[in-house]
């Protein structure tokens, strides 16, 4: 199961350190990476990253930086110093913002260094639809915007993108197989859709070419989170073995 476990990212979407500790105590050995989002990080700060690391896990700092290039670059260096496995920015921040971040990280921690985090760009949120994009003035369809933003991220030197599993093939067409794709919006058959719009199963996400899967509520809301994680890992492992 090691291959599947390393590719499973658990969304630690709770609002306090006690709940984070409770889940973190039950899931080491079942999950490789723990995603730490805005709510938990805003309340608990770097302490929650250290909590994950102390229990042998790796952190995905999911703060989706989107600001002027220098601000994002400096924030990225702080994420590097925290020792997280990966962190992300919004691709809509543009080429210069992403390129400056890459240059800042390269200077401190060059490619090939095992301590270098994976730099990801968010293309389009999985809660978005073409209607919600039109409301903010983006008239191009998702099937056009996602690969366009992915290519921009790759050209800027980013390591990969966060995108719906439904767009993985489009990203592979323009970015190739060596560009990482992290997919949220993944729901096993036993779980509800919640507020995600563009979703698929873990097995189908891997078959489409996804490198990492982000799964939260199907694990955290289960009566036995470790068992739910193991069920997902089995589905992933079966797909990887095909």
Q: Is 148 a known active-site residue?
A: no
Question: What is the H or E stretch that residue 152 is in?
Answer: helix 142-155
Residues 6+ apart with CB under 8 A from 136: none
Q: Where are the beta strands (DSSP E) in 72-219?
A: 86-90, 118-122, 160-162, 180-183, 212-215
Q: Which residue has the higher pLDDT, 190 or 28?
A: 28
Catalytic-role residue among 35, 38, 64, 148: 64
| Residue 183, pLDDT score | 93
pLDDT in tens, 25-74: 889 889 989 999 999 999 999 999 999 999 889 999 999 999 999 999 99
| Residue 54, pLDDT score | 92
Residues 6+ apart with CB under 8 A from 184: 11, 126, 162, 164, 196, 214
Q: What distance in Å separates the CA atoms of residue 219 and residue 236, rounded to the nearest whole number?
A: 14
| Residue 28, pLDDT score | 81
pTM of the model: 0.91
Residue 74, SS3 per DSSP: helix
| Residue 1, pLDDT score | 53
């Amino acid at each position: 199961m090691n291959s599947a476990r390393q590719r499973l990212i658990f969304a630690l979407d709770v609002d306090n350190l006690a709940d984070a500790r409770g889940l973190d105590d039950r899931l080491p050995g079942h999950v490789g990476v723990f995603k730490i989002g805005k709510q938990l990080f805003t309340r608990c700060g770097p302490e929650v990253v250290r909590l994950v690391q102390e229990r042998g896990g790796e952190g995905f700092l999911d703060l989706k930086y989107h600001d002027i290039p220098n601000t994002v670059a400096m924030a990225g260096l702080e994420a590097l110093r925290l020792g997280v496995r990966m962190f992300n920015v919004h691709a809509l921040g543009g080429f210069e913002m992403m390129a400056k971040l890459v240059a800042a990280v390269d200077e401190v921690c060059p490619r090939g260094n095992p301590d270098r985090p994976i730099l990801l760009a968010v293309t389009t949120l999985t809660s978005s639809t073409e209607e919600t994009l039109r409301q903010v003035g983006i008239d191009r369809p998702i099937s056009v915007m996602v690969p366009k933003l992915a290519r921009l991220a790759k050209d800027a030197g980013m390591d990969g993108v966060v995108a719906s599993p439904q767009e993985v093939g489009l990203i592979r067409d323009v970015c190739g197989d060596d560009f990482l794709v992290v997919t949220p919006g993944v729901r096993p058959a036993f779980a509800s859709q919640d507020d995600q719009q563009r979703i698929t199963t873990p097995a189908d996400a891997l078959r489409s070419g996804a490198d990492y899967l982000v799964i939260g509520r199907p694990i955290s809301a289960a009566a036995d989170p470790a068992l739910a994680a193991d069920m997902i890992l089995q589905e992933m492992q079966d797909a990887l073995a095909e």
